[in-house]
Amino acid sequence: MSHGHSDQTRYEINARIDDVLRYALAIGGVLLLLLPAARGFSQTLGWLPLWLLAMPAVALWALRGFPLPRRAGTSGTMAPMRRRRPAPQARRRAHSPARRVLPRAA
């Protein structure tokens, strides 16, 4: 059952959106670097770096399916976690003799 869009059309739309978001991200980055006013706050929009850089970056990340960055040198699979050596259960220290309570000044 098709909803009116082929996979090719959907891919082309995503590619265009990807291009627009990358362009918006680049323009926002340039504006933030070159215009000190772009790093400020607007009564209408709020914190401008959020809208010029963070929102296009998150939208691009979402469009690409939220891929997580991989560590350099890993083959893409998670490294097995190291297990701790078995150790005896920690013991509580014996209570020290009660200390003499001195009267406190008011």
pLDDT one-digit tens code per residue, 56-98: 999 999 998 888 888 876 555 555 666 777 878 888 887 777 6
Q: Where are the domains of the chain?
A: 8-63
For residue 28, the model assigns a pLDDT of 96
For residue 4, the model assigns a pLDDT of 58
| CB within 8 Å of 76: residues ≥ 6 apart | 70
pLDDT tens for 27-66 read 999 999 999 999 999 999 999 999 999 999 999 999 988 8
